[in-house]
A and B are shown apart, each in its own frame.
Chain A
Amino acid sequence: MSEQLNKERKPLVKAVNLKKHFQISRTKTLHAVDDVNFEVYPGETLGLVGESGCGKSTVGNVIMRLLPATGGELYYEDTDIFKLKGEEQKKYCQKMQIVFQDPYSSLNPRKTVKQILSEAYQVHKKDFAGQNIDELVKNLCEMTGIPLNLLDHYPHELDGGMRQVVGIARALSLNPKFIVCDEPVSSLDVSVQAKIINLLIDLQKEHGYSYLFISHDLSVVRHISNRIAVMYLGQIVEIADTDTLFAHTMHPYSIALLSAVPRVNVDKKVERIVLKGDVPSPVNPAPGCRFAPRCWMAKEECKKGLPVTLTEVEPGHLVACPFAHESAENAKNAVKHSLQ
């Protein structure tokens, strides 16, 4: 998906200054998501990566309105769906769906596969008037490859992979345009994971879905995404084309994150930047760059709270670091430095 193409097309979903704060006590506010901006274009996959607690799942939940947003707007085509209510809102529910991380807890254990898959049709009865729900469910099974004899089984009788397929089929039941995939493969074994990823890609090719693919696994995200956004402590620090992000990583955090993944390649050992310390708490974060305390190339002004904004450094490549150009060049020297 080239950037020129993106410029000509209108985004399907656009988040503007998305915010989600949790009030923990009178003085403490947890900034789970802070001023997150991104666009998802029709038919593309935007990968959202980051470590646990960085707010990536919260972004998914806020978009699906499973959590009310603290601030910001979310446009579906031209409508700000956070402002909609009642029937209007219900209409947009059909367009946006979510696949959850854990296929064990996201399926109701007291319902059969058939009941799970037909539930959405019953909720949106009016829109499916005159259609045979059994037929619709059968179509879903054909699309996703669920054997029809499993329809009368309960979730616990299925293996993890098949359960996740049911989760995906449920998300597809209302013909959505946009699907949030919240770590859909992280609880699965490698061989099953490959099947689910292939299924998601096949479905996208056939039906043109847009995905927001949330994951902590960089290699999975690289495989499935057209563009990738890297999150750190509630903010997007870098966003770019998949190939650009891997070839010209700019933000010091993204560089460290990429270098930290253990690789199977036995011939090529990658130089590694090991970050010191843990991810700091997102409660009442200090102004300025949130990565500064762990940053391997932080300058005096970074630590003093120099404001950072996501700025375009080349077409379609946005980085939230004023020294990004240096960091990319310094990466190699710094690697040696931090290893000493």
Chain B
Amino acid sequence: MEEMKKTQVSSEEKEVLVEIKDLSVTYKSERATVYALNGVNLVIHKGESLGLVGETGAGKTTTAISLLRLLPRNATITGGSIYYDGESVMDMTEKQIRQKRGDKIAMIFQNPLTSLNPVFTVGEQIAVLLRVHRGMNRREAMKAAGELLEQVGIASYRTGDYPGQFSGGMRQRVGIAAGIACNPELLIADEPTTALDVTIQAQILELMADLQKKRKTSLLMITHNLGIISELCQKVAVMYAGRIIEYGTVKEVFAHPAHPYTRGLLEALPNLEKKQERLHAIPGLIADSQNLPSGCHFHPRCEHCTKRCEKERPEMIRLNDDHYVACFAHEE
């Protein structure tokens, strides 16, 4: 990972915005411990859009909320560190991190119905961000909120309406407007279109791509939909059982998937372009995060599994500047 950072900085001269090092997070309940993250290494560069893909329980959302230090009480960070623009997120005081949230780092949540407060108008909810972070007064903030709504395609007179008066797609636009209100450096979008229809999803994705281009915001796009990543992101990180198992440019990873899990995911998708005979299902079940397999977490489902995979956990190997994979099969 260290090497990866260096090569990328030198080859693309991009500054690192977020660096997650060996992050491990567990959730404790009365009976069980869930190993949600098990050594995540991830770098987000300035102005870059990174897609984080994986199935249910892979740890995508946990990665995102640890970055904002919004982990619930039963979660413990058992190891690793997170740096935001050179500062350690874990060492920040509550006040410091609060200044970052909503200002430098903003998040768009999956379900626009539950992430907006139903008893405040959408204008108030956007305006509060500007009042807290930009010190605007009520009137200025409301005016700015109206302008933000215009930017996402909602008429500004609707600042006085409540979330319940908007449709699902429009609520998500409100969520985006709130996300970009303070012109953040990093926008985290957690499955922003999963609850929406394809035609509305197309609108939202177009809007996000447009805003990202115009404002040069870094984007962390969390989704299980490989199609969205392929259309919206430059880089992709594939997660499995709390670890990043493949990382690289979207072009490289989707054209030459190196990890058996990534290959399996791509082959399991029905193709819209042509009709295949049969879908390729990955055998077995998603790793149980309460009882993780030894060695490589994917080994019980992998067709190329060796003795070594059962015992040792593979680290990231560099294939080329644009492609990294955690699989012994690619060691020279």
Contact = CB atoms under 8 A, between A and B. Distances in A.
Given A218-B272, A262-B231, A189 B56 contact: yes
A191 B286 contact: yes
Contact of A190 (B198, B202, B269): B269
Contacts of B228: 262
A233 to B, nearest CB: 12
Interface residues of A, number: 43
A264 B254 contact: yes
Given A274-B202, A274-B203, A275-B199, A264 B167 contact: no
Given A223-B279, A264-B254, A266-B250, A51 B269 contact: no
The DSSP consensus for interface residues of chain B is helix
B55 A190 contact: yes
Nearest to A242: B275
Interface of B: 55-56, 167, 169-170, 197-203, 205-206, 224-228, 230-232, 250-251, 254-255, 264-266, 268-273, 275-276, 278-282, 285-286
Contacts of A218: 198, 272
A198 B272 contact: no
Given A51-B198, A278-B200, A266 B254 contact: yes
A303 interface: no
Contact of B198 (A193, A260, A264): A260
Nearest to B166: A278
A218 B265 CA distance: 18
A261 B227 contact: yes
Given A190-B224, A191-B265, A263 B202 contact: no
A198 B278 contact: yes
Contacts of A195: 281
A189 B198 contact: no
Interface in A252-266: 256-266
Contacts of A191: 55, 264-265, 268, 281-282, 286
B254 A278 contact: no
Interface string A212-228: 00001111101100000
Interface in A73-132: none
Contacts of A161: 285
Given A217-B270, A256-B199, 16 more contacts: A51-B200, A190-B224, A190-B226, A194-B279, A194-B280, A198-B278, A216-B197, A219-B269, A222-B275, A262-B202, A262-B205, A263-B272, A264-B269, A265-B273, A269-B231, A278-B170
A222 B273 CA distance: 9
Nearest to A268: B273
A184 to B, nearest CB: 14
B270 A220 contact: yes
Contacts of A198: 278-279, 281
B219 to A, nearest CB: 15
A53 to B, nearest CB: 8
10 contacts: A190-B269, A223-B276, A260-B199, A260-B202, A261-B198, A262-B227, A264-B266, A269-B231, A272-B202, A275-B203
Contact of B230 (A51, A222, A256, A264): A264
Contacts of A278: 167, 169-170, 200
B268 A194 contact: yes
B285 A190 contact: no
A216 B275 contact: no
Contacts of A274: 199, 202-203, 206
A264 B281 CA distance: 17
Which among B230, B231, B264, B266 has the highest number of chain A CB atoms within 10 Å? Answer: B231
B226 to A, nearest CB: 5
Contacts of B286: 159, 189, 191
B307 to A, nearest CB: 25
Interface string A300-339: 0000000000000000000000000000000000000000
A223 B270 CA distance: 6
Nearest to B278: A198
Interface in A161-200: 161, 189-195, 197-198
A264 B197 CA distance: 18
Contacts of B225: 262
Most A CB contacts (10 A, CB to CB) among B264, B266, B270 go to B270
A62 interface: no
A257 B198 contact: yes
A217 B278 CA distance: 17
Contacts of A258: 272
Contacts of A243: 275
A215 to B, nearest CB: 10
Contacts of B254: 264, 266
A123 B282 CA distance: 37
List 3 tightest A-B contacts by C-beta distance, closest first: A262-B227, A223-B270, A51-B197
Contacts of B275: 222-223, 242-243
Nearest to B56: A189
Contacts of B269: 190, 194, 219, 264
A6 to B, nearest CB: 18
A189 B198 CA distance: 18
Contact of B197 (A194, A259, A272, A279): A279
A259 B203 CA distance: 12
